[in-house]
Amino acid sequence: MIYLIRHGQTDWNLEKKTQGHTDISLNQNGKEQAKLVSKIISNYKIDRIYSSDLLRAKETTEIINENFGLEIILDNRLREINYGDLEGIPRPTLTQDVWDIFNNNPEKLNAEPIINVYNRIKSFFDELDYDKNIIIVTHGGALRTIMYYISNRDNFDKKIYDEKYRDTKINNGAFFECDILNNSIKEIEF
């Protein structure tokens, strides 16, 4: 079984700033969110723990790993999408025109195309040992891409991604159980 976790809250999340590859640490609430997930997952049998190499994910993973004492495997393929020139800008101040450019021609903003995120995620998941119980701590954008990957595997269709996954709300500290072999993912409410 694979357990997917979004990192805890940062000040930039609170301030609604666009946060991609910018390396921001957890705030106190984010640490509490990680402790709550840690408490819920403490009795699970876990074989491996992977994390994005960005600080907010690493800190979340370290708190969760206090229960397991496993080696944390950092992997930059689990990073958030790179928002380029939009990093650090409060989302409510960005116009629809800017979002349209980001969604349709991200290179104009020095940002990462979603197909690149999909390719990173696919590469990561193609290497996993599905006979193990695995925790993966990552980011909202990466999780949306993982959700797409679980349902669609080898083919990326931006239209389907945009319609079904792009705007999916994923809270900080969200916790999902993923049965990759049966193409299912469900959020664990707590």
Burial of 5 (0-12, 13-18, 19+ CB in 10 A): buried
Helix axes 140-152, 114-126, angle to 10 degrees: 70
User: Of 7, 59, 87, 139, which residue is the catalytic one?
Assistant: 7
Size (the chain), residues = 190
Is 139 among the residues known to form the active site? Answer: no
Residue 172 CA to residue 126 CA, distance in Å, equals 26
Is 59 among the residues known to form the active site? Answer: no
Residue 76 CA to residue 36 CA, distance in Å, equals 25
Residue 70 CA to residue 41 CA, distance in Å, equals 14
- Cβ atoms of residues 83 and 142 within 8 Å: no
User: Of 59, 80, 87, 112, which residue is the catalytic one?
Assistant: 80
State phi, psi for 86 to the nearest 5 degrees.
-85, -10
> CA 52: distance to chain centroid?
8
The residues carrying an active-site annotation are: 7, 80
